[in-house]
A and B are shown apart, each in its own frame.
Chain A
Amino acid sequence: MYNFTFHRPTTVRQAAGLLARNPDGKLLAGGHSLLPVMKQRLAQPSALVDLSLVEGMTGVELKGRSVVIGAMTRHADVANSQVLKDAMPGLAAVPGSIGDPQVRNRGTIGGSIANNDPNADYPAACLGLGATIITNKRRIAADDFFTGMFSTALEDGEIITKISFPIAKKCAYEKFKHPASGFALVGVFVSKRGPDIRVAVTGAGSNGVFRVKSFEEALKKRFAAKSIEGMTIPANGMNSDIHASPEYRAHLVAVLARRALAKANA
C-alpha cells in the first residue's frame, strides 16, 4: 500500500469538499473492494475520505411505495432489516448472498453500486427493480447508472447518499456462485411491479449488468417460468474465462431466470 492522507468528515458536504480539494482522493466506504487493490499497489489514491462518520447515510426506511437504503448501510444490516424483509424479501435476500460474514459486516450498498463490479450482486437488484440512485447532486435511474464494467454515471466527486427501490409485489434473485470468488458467476433478478417487468442479469455480460428484453416481453403475458420456457439468449456478448464459457453463461441466464421466477411466485 502506498501512503495516503486519511480524512473522516461528518457531513456529506464536508466529504464533497475534501474530494474537491483532493482530485486524486477516493471515498472509502466498507473498503472491501478498494483496500485489496490498494494493498496490491494497483491503486494509489492520494487521500481517503472515509464516509463511516457521515451522518444520515445508513438505515433502511419505508418511504411511501419505496424502500430507501442509505449508501453506507452494511450488507448485513440490509439483509437483517425487518422493514425490508417485510416489504420486499426478494431484495433482502441479495446482500445475504454476498461474500462471507466479514465482508457483509463491512461492505456497503453504496460502495458496491459505485464500484459496479461486473460480478457484483447489487447492480442486478438495482436494475431489476428500476431503483433510483440518489447522490449529493441528483437522482439517477438505474437504467442510466450502470454504464459498463466498473464504470457508472457518477461524476468526479459525486457521492451516492441513498438508493431508493420501488416496492415490487413479486421479485426474486437467483445467484450461481463463482466457484472461487463467491461473487455471481451469473445472477438474475426478476421483478413485477404493475406492468413494469424486469429481468436483470449480472456476472454474464461482458459489458456489466444488463436487462433481457426478450424475456421481459414474454413475461408480459404471464409472469411465470413457463412463459420463457425454451427461450435462450445469444452467447454473443457474454463473458468468457476459465470458469465459464459464453455459451454456459448464456445458458445459465435462462436457467436462473426460470428459477428466480419460480421463487418470486412461490
Chain B
Amino acid sequence: MTATTSATGIGAPVRRKEDFRFITGQGQYTDDVTRPGETKAVFVRSPHAHANIKSIDVSAARKMPGVVDVLTGAQLATDKIGNLICGWMIHSKDGSPMKMSAHPALASTKVNCVGDAVAVVIAETIAQGKDAAEKVVVDYEVLTAVVDPAKAQAKGAPQIHPDIVNNTIYQWHLGEKKDVDAAFAAAKHVTKLDIVNNRLVPNAMEPRAALADYDVGTENLTLWNTSQNPHVARLVISAFIGMAPEHKLRVIAPDVGGGFGSKIFIYPEEVVCLWASRKVKRPVKWTSDRSEAFLTDAHGRDHVTHAELALDANGKILALRAKTIANLGAYMSTFSSSVPTYLYATLLSGQYNIPSIYCEVDAVYTNTAPVDAYRGAGRPEATFVVERLVEVAARQMAIDPADLRRRNFITAFPHQTPVIMAYDAGDYNASLKKAMDLADVKGFAKRKREAARHGKLRGLGYSTYIEACGIAPSQAVGSLGAGVGLWESAEVRVNPTGSVEVLTGSHAHGQGHETTFAQLVSERLGIPFENVSIVHGDTDKVQFGMGTYGSRSGAVGMSAIVKALDKIEIKAKKVAAFMLEAAEGDIEFKDGKFTVAGTDKSAGFGDVALNAYIAHKFTGAELEPGLKETSFYDPTNFTFPAGCHICELDVDIETGKVDIVNWTAVDDFGTIINPMIVEGQVHGGIAQGVGQALMEGAYYDAAGQLVTGSMMDYTMPRAHDLPSFHVGLTMTKSPSNPLGMKGCGEAGAIAAPAAVINAITDAIGTENIAMPATANAVWAALQKSQAPKAA
C-alpha cells in the first residue's frame, strides 16, 4: 500500500472521530447504561489479607431497608458456578503442569488477600447496599500473611492454598543452561545486578463495572462490562464458569475508559452480577469505586530478579542469565502465567546478538491482589533487565554505553534469538543514531557542566528496547501453552448506498480505532472517511474476535480488515463486470472507481454497491447478491517494534528530586496509519514508564494491608512531572502482515523505566537504584555515592 495523498487515508494525522463524544461527556460507558428495575451490587470484602472464614451471617443484612438479596459463596457453589481460571498452561522445568488453585468468585472458606469478596448485597440503591453490607457478620480466624515474593517459597512461610506446596505455581525455564554456564566461565567480564520490578496499580480512568440483565422470557443473559475482549469474556464465562450457554449470553463492552491490560481479564464481580441477576430476576449493576479498584484490579509487574551478563574483552556480549521470582498474587488471573514466562524471557535478547541465554522463573502465590498483564506485560520487565545490564556493563568496562550497544546490535534479518523469537526486520543503528542526534548527545557534557553550576547533577540514560507485538500466531502460542488462538476477525459490510460498516473483533478503549480503521477503509475503497463506521464490542453484533492488548489491533486486527477488503474488491469487480458488460478480469479498481481496462467505461463504488443489492444486472445463478465479507486473520509471526529512548534529567543535589529535562523517543513501528495517534500512544506510554521509574509502587505492609490504597499515597504521574517529548520515527516494515505494521501501544512503557534509571545512576554515580526512584531514595543513594554532596 502506498503512502496516501488524501487527507484521511493511511499516514494522515486525522483528528479522532471518537473524541467529540468523549470530550463533551457523551460517551456511553457501562455505568451510563441503565435498565428498568436495575438493582445495585455491593460487595462485602475481606479486611484481612489471610484468614479462615469461620462463619458468615447475613440474617441482619437481609432485613435492612432496600435489600433484595444477600448472596454468599456457599450458594455460588450450590448453583455450580465454576471457578475463575487462568487460560495459559505453563510447564515447570521438571515437566509438571503449573499448579493452579481454585479461585471462586466469592470466597466461602478462606480469604487470601485484602478485598477478597465474601458476600454480595443486592439492593435498590448503593447507599442501602452499603448499609446492609456493614451488617454482614463474618467471623474470621486471621492467619499470618506473606506479601513478598522473595519470601513466599521460604520454609515456614504461610501456606496460602492448601494444595500448592511452598506457594509455588511453577518453576519454569527457557534456554540452554549448559551453554550459558560455559560462556560465563570463559567470559572476560561479568556484570551482575539485583533488580526489583516494582508492582504497579493500573488505574484506568474509568473503573471496572458490570451490568447484568437476565431475561426471564428468553433465558438470555446480557452483560455490559468494561472489557478489552468481550468475546473472550463470553467464552470463559460460558465454557469454564458455566454461567450460560455461549449463545444465551451476550457481552457488550461499550465505551471503555482505558484498560492498560487490566480489563482483559475475567473478574469475580462480573460473574457474580450475572449469577445474581438470574437469581433475583432483575438487572444487577456494580461499578467499582476507586478504593475497590486499588484493591481488586489485577496489578502489574512485581518481579524480583538476579541477572548477569557475560562479555568478552571487547565488550561483545557472550551470554545472559537471569533468575526471576514473579509474584502472581493470591489467585491466578486469566493470563497471569504467560506474563513472566513467554512474554518476558523471550525478549531477553533485546536488540543484541546474544549467543546464549538462560532464564529461570518461579511464579508464586502471595496474599496480595492478583497480578497480570499491564501495559507491556513482561516486555518492560525484560527490557529493564537487558538495558540495565548493558548500561552497567558499559560503565564498568569504561566503554561508551551507546558504543557498547552498537557493538552488539543485531544487523542482519531475519535473526533467530536463543529464546524462541525470530526477529523479522529492524534497524537498530538507525534509531540509535537518530535519537542521539535529536537529543544532542554531543552537547551533553556542556549541559552537564552548566547544570552543576545550579546545584544539579545531570545524567543521560539510553534504552534501546525491543518488544514482541502483533500478538500472535495461534499455532505458535498454542504450542507454548495458550488456551486460545490469537488471530483477529473482521467483517466488512457495504451498504446499498455505498457506506461501510466494519465489524471488528478488536476493541477500542482509548486507541482510536474508529478513526484509524476508517482511514484504512477510506483509502482502500476510495470512499469518504465519514462514510465508514466501526462497530465493535458487542458479541451479538460482531463475529467472534480476540480483542485488544499486546499492541495487536493494528498488526492483527487491521490485517483482518485488509483481508476482508480484498474479498470485497473481488466480489465488487464481479458486480462491476456485469454492470459494465465486460470480463471480470478486465475490471480495474482504483480511487473508488471500477474501470474496464483500456476504456473510459467505469462505475463508481456506490453504484456497484447498489447493484450488488438490487441484483438487476445478474441472475442468482450467476452471482450471489450482496456485498459483505468476513475474514479471520492469523499472523505468521509476532512483530518487533523497537527503538531508542534517551532520557536526560537533573538531580537536585540537596533534595534528590529528579527533574526530567529532555526526552527523546525514536521508534520503529513499521507502517503508520495516523501519526498523531501514534504520538499520543508514545506519550502515554512514556508517562506510565516514567511513573514506574520515579513514582509508582504498590506497597503492602507485613500484614498484607495495601498501604498505597488511594491517590493520596499511590503516586500517579501528572502532566507537570513530564517534559515535552521529542518524538521521531524510523521505519522498517514488518514483513509479517500485509500493511507492514508493528504496533505502538506499549513501546513507551517498555522503553522508559530503563532510560530513567540509567540516567539517574549516570547522574549520581551509583551502579543501581531501585524503582520508584523517589526523591528520598535518590537522596539516600547520593549519601553513599562519590558524587558531590550538598552542604
- Give me the interface of A with B, judged by CB distance under 8 Å: 1, 40-41, 176, 179-181, 229-230, 242-245, 248, 251-252, 255
Query: Known contacts A41-B130, A179-B695, A179-B774: does B712 contact A252 (CB below 8 Å)?
Result: no
- Of the 9-residue stretches B3-11, B110-118, B309-317, B775-783, which lies at the interface with chain A? B775-783
Contact of A242 among B291, B656, B708 (CB under 8 A): B708
Decide if B713 is an interface residue (CB 8 Å cutoff): yes
In the complex, the answer to whether A255 meets B654 with C-beta atoms within 8 Å is yes
8 Å CB contacts to A: which residues of B704-724? 707-708, 711-716
**Complex interface: chain A residues within 8 A of B707 (CB):** 242
4 closest Cβ pairs, A-B complex: A180-B715, A179-B715, A181-B712, A248-B776
Contact of A248 among B130, B713, B716, B779 (CB under 8 A): B779
In the complex, the answer to whether B699 meets A242 with C-beta atoms within 8 Å is yes
In the complex, the answer to whether A244 meets B291 with C-beta atoms within 8 Å is no
Closest Cβ–Cβ distance, residue A115 to chain B (whole Å): 14
Alpha-carbon distance between A78 and B647 when the two chains are bound, in angstroms:
39
Decide if B127 is an interface residue (CB 8 Å cutoff): yes
In the complex, the answer to whether A179 meets B775 with C-beta atoms within 8 Å is yes
Decide if B790 is an interface residue (CB 8 Å cutoff): yes
Query: Known contacts A40-B291, A41-B130, A243-B774: does B655 contact A255 (CB below 8 Å)?
Result: yes
**Complex interface: chain A residues within 8 A of B695 (CB):** 179-180
Additional 20 contacts, C-beta under 8 A, given A242-B707, A243-B774: A1-B127, A41-B134, A176-B655, A176-B775, A179-B695, A179-B715, A179-B775, A180-B695, A180-B712, A180-B714, A229-B791, A242-B713, A243-B713, A243-B776, A244-B776, A248-B656, A248-B775, A248-B779, A255-B655, A255-B790
In the complex, the answer to whether B713 meets A251 with C-beta atoms within 8 Å is no
Alpha-carbon distance between A242 and B696 when the two chains are bound, in angstroms:
11
In the complex, the answer to whether A251 meets B779 with C-beta atoms within 8 Å is yes
The residue in A179, A180, A242 that gathers the most chain B C-beta atoms within 10 A of its C-beta is A179
**Complex interface: chain A residues within 8 A of B697 (CB):** 242
Alpha-carbon distance between A239 and B381 when the two chains are bound, in angstroms:
33
Residue on B nearest A230 in the bound complex, by CB: B791
8 Å CB contacts to A: which residues of B671-725? 695, 697, 699, 707-708, 711-716
Count A-B pairs with CB separation below 8 Å. 45
**Complex interface: chain B residues within 8 A of A245 (CB):** 776, 780
Residue on A nearest B779 in the bound complex, by CB: A248
Chain B 117-155 per-residue mask, 1 if CB under 8 angstroms from chain A, else 0: 000000000010010001000000000000000000000
Alpha-carbon distance between A41 and B707 when the two chains are bound, in angstroms:
19
Closest Cβ–Cβ distance, residue A1 to chain B (whole Å): 7
Closest Cβ–Cβ distance, residue A213 to chain B (whole Å): 22
Residue on A nearest B657 in the bound complex, by CB: A176
Alpha-carbon distance between A35 and B158 when the two chains are bound, in angstroms:
39
Residue on A nearest B699 in the bound complex, by CB: A242
In the complex, the answer to whether A248 meets B712 with C-beta atoms within 8 Å is no
Closest Cβ–Cβ distance, residue B89 to chain A (whole Å): 37
Query: Known contacts A255-B655, A255-B790: does B711 contact A180 (CB below 8 Å)?
Result: yes
Alpha-carbon distance between A1 and B657 when the two chains are bound, in angstroms:
38
Closest Cβ–Cβ distance, residue B704 to chain A (whole Å): 15
27 inter-chain pairs at a CB distance below 8 angstroms, sorted by A residue, are A1-B127, A41-B130, A41-B134, A176-B655, A176-B657, A176-B775, A179-B715, A179-B774, A179-B775, A180-B708, A180-B711, A181-B711, A181-B712, A181-B713, A242-B697, A242-B699, A242-B707, A242-B708, A243-B774, A243-B776, A244-B776, A245-B776, A245-B780, A248-B775, A248-B780, A255-B654, A255-B790
The residue in B134, B291, B654, B790 that gathers the most chain A C-beta atoms within 10 A of its C-beta is B654
Query: Known contacts A179-B695, A179-B715, A181-B713: does B655 contact A252 (CB below 8 Å)?
Result: yes
Residue on A nearest B127 in the bound complex, by CB: A1
Chain B: interface size category? 20 to 34
Closest Cβ–Cβ distance, residue B98 to chain A (whole Å): 33
Alpha-carbon distance between A242 and B715 when the two chains are bound, in angstroms:
11
The residue in A181, A229, A230 that gathers the most chain B C-beta atoms within 10 A of its C-beta is A181
**Complex interface: chain A residues within 8 A of B711 (CB):** 180-181
Residue on A nearest B291 in the bound complex, by CB: A40
Alpha-carbon distance between A41 and B129 when the two chains are bound, in angstroms:
13
Closest Cβ–Cβ distance, residue A180 to chain B (whole Å): 4
Alpha-carbon distance between A248 and B779 when the two chains are bound, in angstroms:
8
Closest Cβ–Cβ distance, residue A254 to chain B (whole Å): 9
Closest Cβ–Cβ distance, residue B67 to chain A (whole Å): 17
**Complex interface: chain A residues within 8 A of B656 (CB):** 248
**Complex interface: chain A residues within 8 A of B776 (CB):** 243-245, 248
8 Å CB contacts to A: which residues of B752-769? none
Alpha-carbon distance between A179 and B654 when the two chains are bound, in angstroms:
17
**Complex interface: chain B residues within 8 A of A252 (CB):** 655
Alpha-carbon distance between A244 and B707 when the two chains are bound, in angstroms:
14
**Complex interface: chain B residues within 8 A of A40 (CB):** 291
Alpha-carbon distance between A207 and B713 when the two chains are bound, in angstroms:
20
**Complex interface: chain A residues within 8 A of B657 (CB):** 176
The residue in B655, B657, B774 that gathers the most chain A C-beta atoms within 10 A of its C-beta is B655
**Complex interface: chain A residues within 8 A of B780 (CB):** 245, 248
Contact of B713 among A1, A180, A230, A244 (CB under 8 A): A180
**Complex interface: chain A residues within 8 A of B713 (CB):** 180-181, 242-243
**Complex interface: chain B residues within 8 A of A242 (CB):** 697, 699, 707-708, 713
Closest Cβ–Cβ distance, residue A84 to chain B (whole Å): 25
Alpha-carbon distance between A1 and B291 when the two chains are bound, in angstroms:
15
**Complex interface: chain B residues within 8 A of A230 (CB):** 791
Closest Cβ–Cβ distance, residue A12 to chain B (whole Å): 32
Closest Cβ–Cβ distance, residue B43 to chain A (whole Å): 14
Alpha-carbon distance between A113 and B254 when the two chains are bound, in angstroms:
45
Alpha-carbon distance between A143 and B231 when the two chains are bound, in angstroms:
65
**Complex interface: chain A residues within 8 A of B127 (CB):** 1
Alpha-carbon distance between A136 and B566 when the two chains are bound, in angstroms:
81
Alpha-carbon distance between A154 and B712 when the two chains are bound, in angstroms:
27
Alpha-carbon distance between A98 and B657 when the two chains are bound, in angstroms:
20
Closest Cβ–Cβ distance, residue B292 to chain A (whole Å): 12
Alpha-carbon distance between A89 and B446 when the two chains are bound, in angstroms:
37
Alpha-carbon distance between A179 and B695 when the two chains are bound, in angstroms:
7
Residue on A nearest B652 in the bound complex, by CB: A255
Closest Cβ–Cβ distance, residue A117 to chain B (whole Å): 11
Closest Cβ–Cβ distance, residue A88 to chain B (whole Å): 26
Residue on A nearest B131 in the bound complex, by CB: A2
The residue in B291, B697, B774, B776 that gathers the most chain A C-beta atoms within 10 A of its C-beta is B776
**Complex interface: chain A residues within 8 A of B654 (CB):** 255
**Complex interface: chain B residues within 8 A of A251 (CB):** 779
Alpha-carbon distance between A251 and B617 when the two chains are bound, in angstroms:
86
**Complex interface: chain B residues within 8 A of A179 (CB):** 695, 715, 774-775
The residue in A1, A181, A248 that gathers the most chain B C-beta atoms within 10 A of its C-beta is A248
Residue on B nearest A39 in the bound complex, by CB: B289
Residue on A nearest B721 in the bound complex, by CB: A179
Alpha-carbon distance between A188 and B713 when the two chains are bound, in angstroms:
22
Closest Cβ–Cβ distance, residue B42 to chain A (whole Å): 12
Alpha-carbon distance between A181 and B127 when the two chains are bound, in angstroms:
27
Chain B 245-273 per-residue mask, 1 if CB under 8 angstroms from chain A, else 0: 00000000000000000000000000000
Closest Cβ–Cβ distance, residue B294 to chain A (whole Å): 12
Residue on A nearest B712 in the bound complex, by CB: A181
Alpha-carbon distance between A263 and B713 when the two chains are bound, in angstroms:
30
**Complex interface: chain B residues within 8 A of A1 (CB):** 127
**Complex interface: chain B residues within 8 A of A243 (CB):** 713, 774, 776
Alpha-carbon distance between A121 and B406 when the two chains are bound, in angstroms:
51
Residue on A nearest B653 in the bound complex, by CB: A255
Alpha-carbon distance between A230 and B712 when the two chains are bound, in angstroms:
33
The residue in A1, A41, A242 that gathers the most chain B C-beta atoms within 10 A of its C-beta is A242
